[in-house]
Chain A
């Protein structure tokens, strides 16, 4: 079967600077890939490129096939239909990912209604309400009615991130792109949200592109990884392999760093 996301020789440039260089990676339907990189690695830009959401000053070369549709150089109209259906994104900062002036219920309703209308059906009134509450329950939010009636600033960061996940799920995408979704969260909240993401992705058979700088976090949720350094993929492979036997020097330094803190926690100094 052909890959759900097939990136070939992707190069992103702005003026004289090359941000991403000759990147290739593929995600099969239902597979989970981690994109590991520190700041300046180009990882977030790559996810934006996949969605066709790069700022105008960045030039794109190469090919991105998302669900069989070429993204590079494609008209906005075609891309619009693709978004949400083929892929949806969960961002890092729950505070800014949600509209502060709109109640949660309304924000979740938006992608729901769009998906229904794409299927030629209408969703409103009590049915819409039911679907919204159902979705909020799916992301394990305790009091979905209260939350649907609240504004973003009235709920906690962890709850906001769950709402963002719910909105991404509402589109029923084939590929879920999560860009540092737990970086801004507390450690205990992070663990819960990761578990949620894990189970939701497994249950729905969605593919997952998980972007992060946090190696231990990535190791818990993906099957394979690509390590990016300054826009260049330096290593790729199954996550267990890459972390246990890193071939590239940079990957090795990252793995060593992560293990240092791990060891400190085990009580070994």
Chain B
């Protein structure tokens, strides 16, 4: 192995690295949706169910995004869609993370036989188209509820997370500092929490951000196909479905949910990109 040198002079503490533009843009985009969603918890421009305007009215000062075919304020529905999308994304990723990281960690520690068996099972699960898998699970449930959709997506995500966790954890476990930790008297659970998780977290968190966006799109697809709740508690996917018939006369019905969906998913992807830069240990500054 090549040799390393020593300089007794300590390098000066590096100045804090400027966070990238992508990170800020991502935060802003996602932040807008989070703000809207939070707002809906106690206030919306109009009561969601009230038919306050003309039918399919175009955007105006009273109704920023116009009205739907029953005269209900469209902007309100978009805002509610944000809330639903965030719930779906967070829920699916949370479920996927908990199941996936646990399984992946177990696989990393398992004996070859169990590790191989699990890896094979995960591969099969991953190969299954997410949407079909989700539809299958939803069909097994008794109703097309939001929860079933979140659960289905969570399971699909968990397979990918498990695979990733397994590989990342194995790589970390091969490092000398793990042996050093054991020699220091740390128990295996201690090693996992103190060394393995922090070292795999940066890559995992980026992956979670990406899965968030995918989950939102997947749920929108499911709703579009009719497996979601109807308005006024509709997700953007359902709104898109409803807009199909009137897309030429009232295009705002498709454009608004489309913009909302795109900005949230792109925002999350940019956030993921920015997070990846933050997670680089060589950019960490000393405290």
Contact = CB atoms under 8 A, between A and B. Distances in A.
B124 interface: no
A129 to B, nearest CB: 35
Nearest to B4: A39
Contacts of B3: 38-39, 183, 213
Nearest to B1: A184
B214 to A, nearest CB: 36
A138 B2 CA distance: 28
B5 A180 contact: no
A107 interface: no
A39 B5 contact: yes
Looking at chain A's contact residues, the main secondary structure is loop
B2 A92 contact: yes
A180 B3 CA distance: 10
Contacts of B2: 39, 92, 180, 183
Interface string B1-17: 11111000000000000
A38 B5 contact: yes
Nearest to A180: B2
Interface in A115-137: none
A40 interface: yes
Nearest to A214: B3
A14 to B, nearest CB: 17
A38 B3 CA distance: 7
A184 B1 CA distance: 6
A17 to B, nearest CB: 13
Nearest to A38: B5
A258 to B, nearest CB: 14
Interface in A138-186: 180, 183-184
Interface string B140-156: 00000000000000000
A113 to B, nearest CB: 32
Interface of B: 1-5
12 contacts: A38-B3, A38-B5, A39-B2, A39-B3, A39-B4, A39-B5, A92-B2, A93-B1, A180-B2, A183-B1, A183-B3, A213-B3
Given A92-B2, A213-B3, 11 more contacts: A38-B3, A38-B5, A39-B2, A39-B3, A39-B4, A39-B5, A93-B1, A180-B2, A183-B1, A183-B2, A183-B3
